[in-house]
Chain A
Amino acid sequence: MPAGTDIMMPLWRGVVLFRAITAAFAIAAITVHHHGFARPALGWAVLAGIAVWTVVTCLAYSYDRTRRTLTIVIDLLVTLALMSSSALVLSTEQLTEVAQRTPLLTTVWASGPVVAVAVHAGGAAGAMFGVAVAVVDVWVRGFFSVDLARDMILLVGTGFVLGLAATAARRASEQLRRASRAEAAATERERLARSVHDSVVQVLARVRARSGQLDGEAGELARLAGEQEMALRYLFSTATPGATGEQDLASAVRLLAGPRVEVSAPATAVPLPAADVDELVAVVREALANTARHGGPEAKSWVLVEDLDDEVVLSVRDDGPGLDSDQLVGAVHDGRMGVSRSIRGRVADLGATLTLDTGPGRGTEWEVRLARVRHGVAR
Chain B
Amino acid sequence: MTDCRGDARAVIRVMVVDDHPMWRDGVARDLGERGDLGERGFEVVATAVDGAAALRIVAAARPDVVLMDLHFGAKGPSGAETTRCLIESDPDLRVLVLSASGADADVLAAIQAGASGYLMKSASLDELVDAVRRTAEGDAVFTAGLAGLLLGEYRRIARGPHDDVPHLTERETEVLRQVATGHTARQIANALVISHRTVENHVQSTLRKLQLHNRVELARYAIEHGLAQ
Contacts and interface: CB of A to CB of B under 8 A. Distances in A.
A226 B100 CA distance: 12
B123 interface: yes
Contacts of B146: 264
Interface in A272-312: 300-302, 304-309
Interface string A206-237: 10111111000000000000100110011001
**Size bracket of the A interface:** 35 or more
Contacts of A229: 100, 122
Contact of A264 (B23, B108, B122, B145): B145
> Interface on chain B toward A: helix, strand, loop, or mixed SS?
helix
Interface string A159-203: 000000000000000000000000000000000000001100111
B100 A197 contact: yes
B125 A210 contact: yes
A356 B72 CA distance: 44
Contacts of B2: none
Interface in A78-109: none
B186 interface: no
B84 interface: no
Contacts of A301: 182
A196 to B, nearest CB: 11
B71 to A, nearest CB: 7
A22 B30 CA distance: 87
Interface string B86-124: 000000000000001110110110000000000011111
Contact of A202 (B23, B108, B123, B148): B23
Contacts of B104: 265-267
B149 interface: yes
A264 B126 CA distance: 22
Question: Which among B121, B128, B148 has the greatest number of chain A C-beta atoms within 10 A?
Answer: B148
Interface in B117-170: 120-126, 128, 143-149, 151-153, 155-156, 159
B100 to A, nearest CB: 5
A208 B181 contact: no
A263 interface: yes
B220 interface: no
A267 B182 contact: no
Contact of B177 (A205, A257, A267, A304): A304
B66 interface: no
Given A210-B125, A302-B144, A266 B182 contact: no
Contacts of A208: 122
Nearest to A210: B125
B48 interface: no
B76 interface: no
Contacts of B121: 202, 205-206, 209
B180 A304 contact: yes
Contacts of A254: 102
B159 A309 contact: yes
B193 interface: no
Nearest to A203: B22
Given A304-B151, A306-B155, 7 more contacts: A209-B128, A226-B122, A254-B102, A267-B149, A306-B148, A307-B152, A309-B159
Interface of B: 19-20, 22-23, 26, 71, 100-102, 104-105, 107-108, 120-126, 128, 143-149, 151-153, 155-156, 159, 177, 180-182
Q: Give me the 6 closest cross-chain CB pairs, A-B, nearest first.
A: A266-B152, A264-B148, A302-B182, A212-B124, A205-B121, A264-B180
19 contacts: A198-B20, A202-B100, A203-B22, A205-B100, A205-B122, A209-B122, A209-B128, A213-B125, A233-B100, A257-B102, A264-B144, A264-B147, A264-B151, A268-B105, A302-B144, A302-B181, A306-B148, A307-B152, A315-B180
